[in-house]
Amino acid sequence: MTPLRQALTDYLAMRRALGYQLARAEKLLGQFLAFLEHRGETHLRTDSAFAWATQATGTSPRAWAAMRLGVVRGFAQHLSTIDPATEIPPTDLLPRRARRATPYLYTSDELIALMTAATMLRTSHRVATYQTLIGLLAVTGMRGGEAIALDRHDFDVEAGLLIVRHGKFGKARELPLHPSAVAAVNQYLHRQDRPHAAARTSALLVSTAGTRLLLCNVQRTFRTLVRRAGLQPHSTACRPRPHDLRHRFAVCTFLDTYREGKDPGAALSLLSTYLGHVDPTYTYWYLSAAPELLQLAADRLQQRFGGAL
């Protein structure tokens, strides 16, 4: 193993010990080191990092190149502590303006349209897999990666809950399910068309090959379902994504809180825990883009303070 490869192994191990998963970083940095090795280089230099990063292609090449360079910069900062010849790419070399996507808040009809579109997938088991996945994302607010990481033993049919063991930053949590969701997951696990090869994996949700789902394939299939369901982007920054089902869950939960006259503060704390956030402030983002929710909050304030507003 070369010194650069060993340094990468140590870097990833250190970051993962802090709770980071780094699947994309590991892949990109592996490609970057292969690029350096092809050029016969043994030290990390800014011009080489720039040359590799700007090989990127896609609909937004500059943003993609900036992301790649940012991944290298993090590794370079670590590497510079053990190799003085390391050059750390400056932050203004490919500035990347952070821009969060605007949440696409699915209506109930759009959610039904997505589930219906799934019936056009190739096999009956694949139909069931994506209907179960979409349903779970909608009723639990799980991240997509958390859902496909679920194992069969993470589903407790008697207690009626799911255990997320591989949450962000290594956080685990229990998610109580509605009886209808418990029945749906249990039915999926006992389907007669479940691939025989699935017995070799512990995964709850499996592909037609009987293997754990891959996030890239899930995202590709989801785009197909969105197109078949006739869902249209609201803007260039607001497009239907699997992650927006998490936003929908958060907003619907809070809408119920206001409609039932419950304490929003207490509900926010519970919702934050359910979503797996390390701090409730992160949960506010999921609630800030829903006009109906903001109107209910304003109505609550009007009722409390009346003409003082």
- 97 catalytic per annotation: no
Contact at 8 Å (CB) between 36 and 49?
no
3-class state of residue 161 by DSSP: strand
Catalytic one among 5, 165, 173, 243? 243
Instruction: Give the separation between CA 58 and CA 55, rounded to whole angstroms.
Output: 10
Catalytic one among 68, 78, 247, 277? 277
- 168 catalytic per annotation: yes
Instruction: Give the Cβ contact number of residue 130 at 10 Å.
Output: 23
Catalytic one among 246, 247, 248, 274? 246
- 212 catalytic per annotation: no
Instruction: Give the separation between CA 48 and CA 251, rounded to whole angstroms.
Output: 45
Which neighbouring-strand residues pair with 162? 155, 175
Contact at 8 Å (CB) between 167 and 267?
no
Instruction: Give the separation between CA 155 and CA 158, rounded to whole angstroms.
Output: 9
Q: What is the 3-state secondary structure (H, E, C) of 201-217?
A: CCECCECCCCCECCHHH
CA 189-220-52 angle, to 5 degrees, is 125
With CA atoms as reference, report the closest residue to 136 among 87, 182, 105, 67.
182
- 190 catalytic per annotation: no
Catalytic one among 96, 168, 223, 239? 168
Catalytic one among 73, 125, 143, 248? 143
User: Which residues are catalytic, by number?
Assistant: 143, 168, 243, 246, 277, 286
